[in-house]
Amino acid sequence: MALIKIELPDGSTNEVESGVTPYDVALTIGEGLARQSIAARFEGDLIDLTSPLEGSGRLALITQNSPEALEIVRHSCAHLMAQAVKEIYGNEVQVTIGPVIKDGFYYDFYSESKKFVPEDFPVIEAKMAELAKADLAVRREEMSRSDASELFHGLGEDYKVELIEDLDVETVSLYRQGDFVDLCRGPHVPRTGLLKVFKLTSLAGAYWRGDEKNAMLQRVYATAFQNKKELKAHLHRLEEARKRDHRKLGKELDLFSFSEEAGGGLVLWHPKGAMLRTIIEDFERKEHLKRGYEIVVGPQILKTELWKMSGHYDNYRENMYFTEVDEQGYGIKPMNCLAHMLIYKSKPRSYRNLPVRYFELGTVHRHEKSGVLHGLLRVRGFTQDDAHIICRPDQIDAEVKNIMGFVQDVAGIFGFDYVMELSTRPEKSIGSDADWEQATHALQGALEGSGQPYTLNEGDGAFYGPKIDVKLKDALDREWQCATIQCDFTLPERFDLTYVGADGEKHRPVMLHRVIVGSIERFVGVLIEHYAGSFPLWLSPVQAVVLNVTDSQADYAQQVFEQLREADVRVELDIRNEKLGFKIREAQMAKIPYMLVIGDREMESQTVAPRFRDGKSLETMSVADFIGTVRAESAACK
């Protein structure tokens, strides 16, 4: 037998016979290590603990505590779940795929007759536990594609056969545990006994291979962890997210609602929610003016011919609402760009006056599929902080950089981190190859120049141009699509936008579509979850509430309330005949930043006693001082 050299992470080198497994190597180091190991990394690749090592190289054992371990455990759990399902339901159910995802894994099953229900979960979990306890060996096997195809055909697993037929390889790997066999690349844990903590979580429909033309499968979501403590922590995180759910908080804080009578996905903004979005809108106008944008306003409906000219009619019609006025067809705008182009076209433009930056808090309507509506995060009518920058090609770089700086500033003000993505030409698109290349190149250049990392999203651009998407990361580290920057050579062409250059000739400008927070609706939803409803002072719809202790201070409380309102503090007055504790509790649950307690002491000294919503009290102070405090704190946040 030939000898090979195995280098371990601590730098030591073992000389072993070719064909030994990582498990054997672990044993030579210690029995405890061997017992703890679940897989290995050899020359950078993940392999099974039982895979024979054929050549020299660097080997690292993956133990239950390694960061990579969890993914392997979850993947093996997916197999365990499929095995359990097959043992319980037999040929009534076919297996398809079962990958690992963030926070767990799922397995998609196909069945004509079996409909999974949550009541099946304990049964499946019990079978999984039984199979895990049996500590079955998990064995890797390789066979030719045709043999594997025949094997699964014999087992009646049509979806596996289809997967195998589509693979572009000679041999495929299979994993067996007990009577169960699954097509899989691996690696897996060596024994089912290593799978201890798992839990089925939910059910959903999913199309085979994600294509809505294909059969609907039944997806069983589940999760697995190394120990019970981690599972508990995970369930706790889910609970936290539930508490922050903007739909729940939106109701509790009386910010907005939806009505069956009005229609799905159409938001009704209550006074406090409307206040919140107004604050954001005022902030947006100010920030845009500061950065050289001009505010414009376009109409809600535009003639259908115009949507045909823009390409929206051909590419976006299924998302649009149409109406007819005096036998003339109109489309309700799903985007704001058309009006902005018409404004540009209203007079001749000189190269000296470019770029023009038109900003509009534009309300658009899109017919989203009913199943995708989701609180404020996905609606059918929403307002974008939309701008169109019409510029010379040589100005694209600088403009994109400015926009990225704008995004950075705004994200910082609201306390978000973010990640960026570049999306390239989709299948359904308009414009020439050359334009697409130039536009994509411009965006990529700006991204490279920003020094910020970004990922590439092939084929995910808008139909008229490539785009940069910015995803904000909230307090729970979840990502939300908000800002987007899109480069467009096509619409200026279609609308024959021109400017007169230094040479006196007409030239074609470029248009950048961009939003910073995206949709105000979605952004408010994200903010609610990000802040868990406790908005910073400058965003709070109600900043302070004046509370009297007894009726005898009602007049003074009223005076304080009016003084604050005069000073533009968003304030409420609560002089109801209730005990102070009761009023404090209500204000606390409404997450109002400041409660101003007015008793005899305050009335006598003409002061207020502020209490912050975290329970801490400030020194008793004059009304004027309190106004100063609110102003200073609001300014500091913004």
**Catalytic machinery residues:** 337, 366, 384, 386, 388, 467, 513
CB of 242 to RNA, least distance (A): 9
CB of 367 to RNA, least distance (A): 8
Nearer to RNA, 341 or 520 (CB): 520
Q: How many CA atoms lie within 13 A of 385 on its CB side?
A: 29
Please state the three-class secondary structure of 166-205 as a single string. HCCCCEEEEEEECCEEEECCCCCCCEHHHCCEEEEEEEEE
Distance CA 281, CA 520 (A): 8
CB of 274 to RNA, least distance (A): 17
Nearer to RNA, 444 or 534 (CB): 534
Return the bridge partners of 172, or none: 143
Distance CA 619, CA 211 (A): 63
Return the bridge partners of 598, or none: 548
Concatenated DSSP letters for 495-516? TT--EE-TTSSEE--EEEEEEE
The gap between the terminal CA atoms of the chain, to the nearest Å, is: 72
CB of 252 to RNA, least distance (A): 7
Nearer to RNA, 343 or 524 (CB): 524
Q: How many CA atoms lie within 13 A of 500 on its CB side?
A: 5
Residue whose entry in the numeric block shows the structure tokens 């169109």: 388
Which of helix, strand or coil describes residue 583? Answer: helix
Q: Which value, in Å, is the radius of gyration of the alpha carbons in the chain? A: 31
Nearer to RNA, 33 or 618 (CB): 618
* Per-residue CA distances from 599 to 182, 310, 570 (Å): 74, 65, 21
Q: What single-letter DSSP state applies at residue 215?
A: P
Nearer to RNA, 187 or 518 (CB): 518
CB of 151 to RNA, least distance (A): 28
Q: What single-letter DSSP state applies at residue 44?
A: T
Nearer to RNA, 196 or 530 (CB): 530
Distance CA 332, CA 314 (A): 15
CB of 403 to RNA, least distance (A): 14
* Per-residue CA distances from 253 to 430, 544, 561 (Å): 45, 15, 21
Tokens of 384: 């974008």
Distance CA 133, CA 195 (A): 9
Q: What single-letter DSSP state applies at residue 346?
A: T
307, 320 Cβ separation under 8 angstroms = yes
Nearer to RNA, 368 or 397 (CB): 368
Distance CA 278, CA 293 (A): 19
CB of 51 to RNA, least distance (A): 32
CB of 551 to RNA, least distance (A): 4
Nearer to RNA, 360 or 521 (CB): 521
64, 194 Cβ separation under 8 angstroms = yes
